[in-house]
Structure formats: structure tokens, C-alpha cells
């Protein structure tokens, strides 16, 4: 029997709750902790629709949760952006450029990458930091979408990326092709030894096709480090 518990990790600029779901069979604190995040970029509905369905299928016992695993799902880290299908948060900040990485910089070339006035200036970023500190995940999968789909991996998880690629047929890449200071992959994967997969789903892909392409790869990831 799987146990699903909802809690709130913080509130958005517009004071909407940022929800997280804790999922396990036995709530054992020694379990392997895994964190899935989506909706960092609110216009990338491919990711949060996938993760919402993943959560529903777990609740309806369609997806097995392995023994000794606690899975945390945060489907909409940027609820204001998700509601309006906008990349940034309500302050027009790109939350994947706002985390306090060593290379954080206030400069930006395109407004869609506005990193904020200072690192971790946004309530959604502060909630992210507390969430990661509290969970201490073994690894993270962050669901995004991009016109060039790929399994972007940061930190020691090339093996996991290769395993996932057997099922979703996307190429593992260590580099997305441009610098991403203030990103989750840099903050966790490169600077904190928390391997981070940024799964870039094909932008505009129909939800049912997203599911068909990625569900097996994500299910396999749950048991990969057991």
C-alpha cells in the first residue's frame, strides 16, 4: 500500500501554495530519497502535465513504488507562472537562473532569462533551497521542455541518464549548449553532489505522446540506485 502525503514548501509571489507530495510504502527515514520537480518554467506544461499524471497513476496504483524508496513530487514549483503559462515567476524572474550558484550573475541577454535582482531573491527559490536541504535527495529529475529534447545531466549520473535513454531514446548530454548560471543543475548537480537530470521533453509534444515516450524511463529511474 502506498502512502501519499501532501504538504506545502512555501508560497509564490501571488501567495499561492507550492505543493509537494511525499510517496512511499513505509515512510522509513532510511529510504532512498528521490525528488521530481516540474513547472519551474510555467510555459513548459509538457513537464508538469507529465508529473501530475505520474502522481495520479501512483495514487491509483498503476505505478509501483519500490521498497526502500521515498519519492517526493513537486509538480508546480512556479504556480503563478504555470497558471498563466509564462516562463518566469510573477516578478518576471527566471527561477532556473535565480539559485545561489557560484557563477550567479545579474547580467542577462534576453528578458526571459532575467536572473532577478540578487541570487535567491524569489520566494519560489527560497522554498527550493529549504526543500533540497530538508529532503537531501540522492538525485533529482527536473522536467522541462525544449525544441531540442535531451537528457541533460549534471553531476555523477551519466549512468542513470544512459539507462533512461534506453527507454525514451533521447541523448544524454552534460551540456545543454549554453551557460545556465543560477540553475538547479548547477546548484545541486555541480556544486552539491546531488546528481540532477534535467529532462528536456520535446516542446509542444501532445501529453499522451509525452507519457508514452517517458513514463518507462522515469519508472526505471526510481529503482536505479537501489
Burial class for 223, CB neighbours closer than 10 Å (0-12, 13-18, 19+): middle
Set of cell numbers at residue 198 = 534535467
Which is nearer to Zn ion, 44 or 80 (by Cβ)?
44
What are φ and ψ of residue 198, in 5° steps? -100, 105
Interaction between residue 41 and Zn ion (CB under 5 A): yes
Q: Identify which of residues 41 and 76 has a Cβ nearer to Zn ion in the complex.
A: 41
Q: Considering only 25-33, 35-43, 152-160, 212-220, which stretch makes contact with Zn ion by CB under 5 A?
A: 35-43
Parallel/antiparallel/unpaired status of strands 139-146 and 17-24: unpaired
Indicate which single residue of 76, 97, 138, 144 sits in contact with Zn ion (rule: CB under 5 A).
144
Give the x-and-dash track for 42-61 against Zn ion (CB under 5 A): --x-----------------
Interface with Zn ion by CB under 5 A: which range of 40-48, 74-82, 147-155, 202-210? 40-48
> In sequence order, what are the residues at sequence separation of 6 or more whose Cβ sits closer than 8 angstroms to the Cβ of residue 126?
10, 120
Going by the DSSP 8-state scheme, the letter that residue 113 receives in this structure is G
Give CA–CA dist 120/2, Å, rounded. 34
For position 76 contacting Zn ion by CB under 5 A, the verdict is no
Of 24 and 89, the one with the shorter C-beta distance to Zn ion is: 89
Bridge partners, residue 37, by sequence: 74, 142
* CB nearer to Zn ion: pick between 32 and 93: 93
Cβ-closest residue to Zn ion?
144
Contact region for Zn ion (CB under 5 A) — 17-25, 37-45, 153-161, 162-170? 37-45
Minimum distance, C-beta of residue 25 to Zn ion, in the bound complex (Å): 32
- Report the C-alpha dihedral over residues 114, 17, 46, 33, rounded to 10 degrees: 100
- Which residues are CB-contacts of 132 (< 8 A; sequence separation ≥ 6)? 35, 140, 188, 192, 194
Q: Taking the complex as a whole, how short is the minimal distance between the CB of residue 120 and Zn ion, in angstroms?
A: 18
CA distance 157 to 219: 16
Region of residue 69 (phi > 0: left; psi between -120 and 50: alpha; otherwise: beta): beta
Q: Segment contacting Zn ion (CB under 5 A): 2-10, 33-41, 112-120, 157-165?
A: 33-41
Tell me the window of 4-12, 13-21, 138-146, 217-225 that interacts with Zn ion (CB under 5 A).
138-146
Q: Which is nearer to Zn ion, 23 or 127 (CB)?
A: 127
Number of residues that bind Zn ion (CB under 5 A): 3
Contact set with Zn ion (CB under 5 A) = 41, 44, 144
Amino acid at each position: 500500500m502506498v502512502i501519499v502525503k501532501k504538504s506545502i514548501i512555501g508560497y509564490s509571489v501571488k501567495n499561492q501554495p507550492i505543493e509537494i507530495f511525499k510517496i512511499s510504502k513505509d515512510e522509513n527515514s532510511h529510504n532512498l530519497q528521490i525528488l521530481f520537480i516540474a513547472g519551474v518554467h510555467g510555459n513548459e506544461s509538457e513537464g508538469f502535465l507529465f508529473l501530475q499524471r505520474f502522481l495520479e497513476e501512483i495514487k491509483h496504483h498503476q505505478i509501483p513504488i519500490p521498497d526502500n524508496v521515498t519519492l517526493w513530487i513537486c509538480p508546480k514549483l512556479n504556480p503563478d507562472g504555470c497558471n498563466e503559462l509564462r516562463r518566469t515567476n510573477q516578478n518576471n524572474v527566471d527561477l532556473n537562473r535565480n539559485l545561489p550558484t557560484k557563477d550567479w550573475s545579474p547580467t542577462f541577454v534576453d528578458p526571459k532569462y532575467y536572473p532577478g535582482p540578487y541570487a535567491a531573491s524569489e520566494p519560489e527559490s527560497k522554498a527550493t533551497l529549504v526543500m533540497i536541504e530538508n529532503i537531501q535527495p540522492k538525485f533529482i529529475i527536473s522536467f522541462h521542455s525544449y525544441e531540442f529534447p535531451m537528457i541533460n545531466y549534471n553531476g555523477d549520473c551519466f549512468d542513470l541518464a544512459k539507462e533512461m535513454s534506453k527507454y525514451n531514446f533521447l541523448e544524454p548530454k552534460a551540456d545543454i549548449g549554453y551557460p545556465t548560471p543560477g540553475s538547479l543543475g548547477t546548484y545541486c548537480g555541480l556544486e552539491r553532489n546531488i546528481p540532477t537530470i534535467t529532462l528536456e521533453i520535446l516542446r509542444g509534444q501532445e501529453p499522451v505522446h509525452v507519457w508514452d515516450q517517458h513514463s518507462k524511463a522515469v519508472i526505471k529511474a526510481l529503482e536505479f540506485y537501489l
